[in-house]
Structure 1
Amino acid sequence: MKKKLLAWFIGVCMVCTCVGCGSGGNTAAAGNTAGSGQTEASQAESSSGEKKKVTFYMWASDAEQEFDKAIVAQYEKENPNINIEENYIPYAEYLSKINTMAAAGSMPDIFNLPEGNVFEWGAKGALLDLKPLYEAAGVNPSDVSVDSAIFSTDENVWSVGYNVTTLCLYYNKELLEENGIAFPGIDASQPWSWDEFVENAKKITKDSSGSGPDDAAFDPDNITVYGTMMPTDWVKFIPLLHTNDSGILNEDGTALGISSDAGIEVIQSIADLGNKIHCAPSNAMAKGAFSDASAMLMNGQVAMVIDGGWALANYTNEGFDVGVAPIPAFKHPADISWTAGLCMSPNAADNKEAFDFYQYFTNFTNSIQAALDQGVSLGGLPHTLEVFDGGENEAKWVSTYTKVDATQMCEAFKNILQADTTVLGDNVRVKNFPVIVDNTIVPALDNVWLGEVSAKEALEVLDLSDSIDGYWK
């Protein structure tokens, strides 16, 4: 079974926290079987009559927090001699709070960490290396989770996430059918080419008189239906770079990759969708009236959008039968995947109960049971390999989406996550990612999206030699 790579920061804001609950215990990760009741840690404590405390910090809020609370309650029900002390900190304050606790030597046993910080904190000794704990438990994380959920080097395991996300092409089935366009397949090794994607977007785009971009009478100022939207967020254009043998950095991490001819081709092609071909809203419109891509796709104003797995619940919660396919490719299939970091403090090295709960929380089969018990759709995608069994576990995952038949959607995401061409996101791998991307590349591209400068003009002048420090792994 193919598996891929790792973590994130943005993803956590966007992806619903999908973590353990239910009667399955720790299953494969903890070495327990379904319905086993108390775990070894709980049974050991019960003889002493003491209740072991595990401190747990997250940034979840609203429905996401309620979901986490339900998982904790279920774990405590199965393990009555363990008390999970929950703390939920607003995201805007979270990293500052954790930094302060680290400086004071009072880190919680288990805590969320933005994906961009995990390797850095691990290298500085601020995180517990989980590799010895997994080895003592007889567990190889790569045998349990997709690689994109594991923050690891050859020597260390710093975190295992509690779900993953990736990018896909969402599409409105009715709009494709109305224009005689066959649905894209779900085989991640055979996506549409970029040219096919653009041609189909042009077929769907119509102005108020019904003319399309190739018609002489077409009026780009009065478009009523767009074929797609420009994927201008870095999280969306990075996987497209990979389909063209590019990325934020070059292959050995010594220079910018996005400034190469291949990178420039991708960026200019994205800008042309709205500024030249007119099969996508302008950048200004995408930040205004068309800012809610999911709503635009559901109401038929847009036919196709490149977006993340976190958006799946937007459609399924509305009972909308959205189509899911691999992203279009320039030269070959590719994608990225990542997850949030869930870490342990070095102070918790001897806290067996903390590691027991950690494994429970990071087993997606428990997340599925929680969703079934609560009747809610999952926001994140499975990272636990046993979910992709083609049988009972996979059927349970599909059944969590109660308002629509999600068989096609789940199968498409399964194929993307298992593809050899789906790699760890640059947002996790690239050192100094915020400095390079958020502070430099993103501002430089603003005028490209507006059509005021070309991608070549914006990217070839960038000099980030002082900021580039290669990859974490």
Structure 2
Amino acid sequence: MAGAVPAKAQDCVEQVDLTFTFWGSASEKNDIENAIRTFNESHPCITVTGQHIPNTGYVEKITSMLASNTAPDVAYLSQDQAFGWAAEGRLLDLTPYLGDTPEDTYLKNSIYRVEGRLMGTGLATGVMLIYYNKDVFDAAGVEYPPANAAEAWTWDEFVENAKLLTKDRNGNTAADSDFDPNSIDTFGVAMPAGFSGWYPYVVSNGGRMANEDGTELTLNSPEAVEALQAYQDLIYKHHVTPTPTQTGTLPAADILMQSRKVAMSMDGHWRITDFNDTRMNWGIGVLPMFDEPYTPLISTPKVIFASTEHPDEAFEFYQYVSNPEQVGLFKSGLWAPLELEYFETEDGLAKWLTSEDAEYPPEAMDAIVNYSLNYTGEQLPTYQLRNIGQIMNDAVIPAISKMLDGTVSAQEAMDEAVANAAPLMQGRW
């Protein structure tokens, strides 16, 4: 209510205490703690106590809290735990709060359902992008990566441009006949080895992780293998990206780009904060495509535990901690919002992206907003498949590692992954 005066603590019918567990870097921890403080100041009848837990060991800590009946009220959770615990009834069904059609309010891929129950939404959102050093592009005479997905580079265009940006110590590019792949000074692109690095191209080429009911891994389909072989070829055929061994000895991509040792890097929206800390002349673009433009919408599940004694107050904080008007991480470039209004209206965009103190490059309206709204396809299988953690750890990741090491072809790697995953597939949530 406009003009309403906050209640004084002594006027509260009940003083509610909530616990909120989260992980994150030092800067993220600082922003979240600021949000908790402002929430407590504006809600004198509710006191939220934040508990920052390092990502390493987070699962073990929350599991221990559950076992001792001291589960938090609100928490970040990885998808490996969140979906299983939701199926067991450990997490609150948020349908009474978010309604039957939260897709009318939120980006559809940020909403998580488990066996007919609404587990909730993500913490925030982010998409995969191309980051690039404009000065390196200018020196090579290569046009910048498109920011509009409708104009995305084809995979072949991407490869040709990456060759022009890759140079050996004699100044030859990877497109030159005299190029020395054993003496590379600048790589055209740094590609992540993880799931969010290679899976977008599988989808872009018409491939999928699993069949319709989630009982068979399908990464050995022709569409998936073609995209994965192209990914491997960047290393061993075209020599435009470092080998895994080289990557393990090199600094992070933002440092490599700043020193002009890498021209482009594929990474998530959340890396904008890191690039903002450099003095580099950088920009962002959309991923290259095979058949159609695609980027995954990535998030961290944010949940309320069913054991909370104060679900209404917990939900009030649940909403607050993902509000761009209350948390600085949206303007700094670490997070993008969940709600459609922040993507589709001028007033909403002004709360994070177009604010005077926001830290986004000018391409962000296309490369983040339009990309998130129109090119994220179906929800990632990591939010759909049962037993996804074991499937990845025991079948997919070992096969991808062999492929990226160059010891096997993409077809051989994926045939092995499919065989190893067969006894692990348990369908979809």
Normalized against structure 2, the TM-score is what?
0.91
- When residues 170 and 162 of structure 1 are mapped into structure 2, their CA distance, relative to the original with a 3 A threshold, is same
- Give, in angstroms, the shift of residue 141 of structure 1: 3.3
- When residues 405 and 96 of structure 1 are mapped into structure 2, their CA distance, relative to the original with a 3 A threshold, is closer
Alignment check: 8 A CA contact 2:285 2:363 kept: no
Residue among 286, 311, 314 paired with 1:354? 314
- When residues 313 and 350 of structure 1 are mapped into structure 2, their CA distance, relative to the original with a 3 A threshold, is closer
- Give, in angstroms, the shift of residue 458 of structure 1: 2.1
Tell me whether 268-277 or 405-414 shows the greater mean CA deviation. 405-414
Q: Which amino acid aligns with 2:89?
A: G
**2:425 corresponds to which residue?**
468
- Give, in angstroms, the shift of residue 75 of structure 1: 0.8
Residue among 272, 277, 298 paired with 2:258? 298
- When residues 459 and 37 of structure 1 are mapped into structure 2, their CA distance, relative to the original with a 3 A threshold, is farther
Alignment check: 8 A CA contact 2:295 2:375 kept: no
Map Cα deviations across residues 277-313 of structure 1 (whole Å, 9 max, x no partner): 1112222111112x41121122221112211112111
1:243-254 mapped onto 2 (5 Å cutoff): 243-254=204-215
**1:217 corresponds to which residue?**
178
Q: Which amino acid aligns with 2:270?
A: W
- Give, in angstroms, the shift of residue 140 of structure 1: 5.3
- The answer to whether 1:387 aligns with 2:342 is yes
- The answer to whether 1:65 aligns with 2:62 is no
Q: Which amino acid aligns with 1:65?
A: K
Q: Which has the higher contact order (CA 8 A, sep 6+)?
A: 1
Tell me whether 270-279 or 445-454 shows the greater mean CA deviation. 445-454
Distance in 2, Cα, partners of 1:383 & 1:365: 13
- The answer to whether 1:77 aligns with 2:41 is yes
- When residues 444 and 109 of structure 1 are mapped into structure 2, their CA distance, relative to the original with a 3 A threshold, is same
- When residues 204 and 134 of structure 1 are mapped into structure 2, their CA distance, relative to the original with a 3 A threshold, is closer
Map Cα deviations across residues 36-72 of structure 1 (whole Å, 9 max, x no partner): 664xxx68x8644642212222234522211111001
Map Cα deviations across residues 132-191 of structure 1 (whole Å, 9 max, x no partner): 1334xxx95333321232212583221222211221111222222223322232222331
Map Cα deviations across residues 321-376 of structure 1 (whole Å, 9 max, x no partner): 422122111111122112111111223365422222222123233224x777xxxx
- Give, in angstroms, the shift of residue 105 of structure 1: 3.2
Distance in 1, Cα, partners of 2:78 & 2:27: 20
Tell me whether 402-411 or 377-386 shows the greater mean CA deviation. 402-411
Distance in 2, Cα, partners of 1:319 & 1:214: 30
**1:14 corresponds to which residue?**
none
Distance in 2, Cα, partners of 1:132 & 1:267: 43
- The answer to whether 1:438 aligns with 2:393 is yes
Task: Identify unmatched segments of 5+ residues in structure 1.
Answer: 1-31
**2:326 corresponds to which residue?**
366
- When residues 115 and 50 of structure 1 are mapped into structure 2, their CA distance, relative to the original with a 3 A threshold, is same
**2:379 corresponds to which residue?**
424
Alignment check: 8 A CA contact 1:228 1:279 kept: yes
Q: Which amino acid aligns with 1:471?
A: R
Q: Which amino acid aligns with 1:106?
A: T
- Give, in angstroms, the shift of residue 266 of structure 1: 1.5
Alignment check: 8 A CA contact 1:318 1:403 kept: no
**Length, aligned pairs only:** 427
Task: Identify unmatched segments of 5+ residues in structure 2.
Answer: none
CA RMSD, aligned part only?
A: 2.6
1:266-281 mapped onto 2 (5 Å cutoff): 266-281=227-242
Alignment check: 8 A CA contact 1:319 1:404 kept: no
Map Cα deviations across residues 189-211 of structure 1 (whole Å, 9 max, x no partner): 33111111001001111112221
Alignment check: 8 A CA contact 1:110 1:344 kept: yes
Q: Which amino acid aligns with 2:87?
A: A
- When residues 102 and 297 of structure 1 are mapped into structure 2, their CA distance, relative to the original with a 3 A threshold, is same
Alignment check: 8 A CA contact 1:317 1:403 kept: no
**2:105 corresponds to which residue?**
144
Tell me whether 349-358 or 155-164 shows the greater mean CA deviation. 349-358
Tell me whether 209-218 or 148-157 shows the greater mean CA deviation. 148-157
* Secondary structure of the structure 2 residue equivalent to 1:158: strand
- The answer to whether 1:107 aligns with 2:71 is yes
Alignment check: 8 A CA contact 2:283 2:361 kept: no
* Secondary structure of the structure 2 residue equivalent to 1:423: coil
Distance in 1, Cα, partners of 2:372 & 2:381: 16
Q: Which amino acid aligns with 1:398?
A: L
What percent of counterpart residues are identical? 28
- When residues 267 and 313 of structure 1 are mapped into structure 2, their CA distance, relative to the original with a 3 A threshold, is same
Distance in 2, Cα, partners of 1:442 & 1:393: 39
